[in-house]
Amino acid sequence: MENIEEYYNLIESALLDLGVDPESCREEKQEGSWTISSGNVYLLLDCWADTEENIVVFQVLSPLFEIPEDMSAEFYNEILELNFTINGTSFSKLNNTLVLKSIQDLELTEKTAITAMINRVGFYADKYGSTLSMKYFGVNISEDTDNPTQE
């Protein structure tokens, strides 16, 4: 495994290509992490060394909203069906939060693939976050970014 700093530089170069200042979104407490927000979309970017597999991993994650414990089967069916239609990204459940996620071995990735991952997760988060929140909770998260779910 090469020096992970080289991968951080590659990610930050991709962020610059996207018009994002990497220094302003770099997480100070977590090396290899960046947070981007635009409107109601939050993207969490992480890069780490997986020593077990001897690879460097890059992940783009967008938390959409909290999923109540009593969520309907209809909701989960829709999420599974959407997973089949979206490219290079998938819906997942992290704790009690619906997230969109793309993850890849960086050693096989060029900068253009990094920018595509960031754009893709952001696009799907923007497209489906508000739609699903409105459909299942009656809340448009683009209008209520502080509290995207009903209490």
Where do the domains of the chain lie?
4-135
4-135 fold: Yope Regulator; Chain: A, (3.30.1460)
Output the average pLDDT for the chain.
89
pLDDT, tens only, 31-84: 999 999 988 899 999 999 999 988 999 999 999 999 999 999 999 999 999 999
pLDDT, tens only, 95-143: 999 999 999 988 767 889 999 999 999 999 999 998 999 999 988 766 5
CB neighbours of residue 122 within 10 Å: 21
**C-alpha to C-alpha distance for 67 and 149, rounded to whole angstroms:** 8
* The model's pTM: 0.84
**C-alpha to C-alpha distance for 93 and 103, rounded to whole angstroms:** 15
What counts of helices (H) and strands (E) characterise the chain?
4, 5
Cα three-residue angle 22-45-53, rounded to 5 degrees: 125
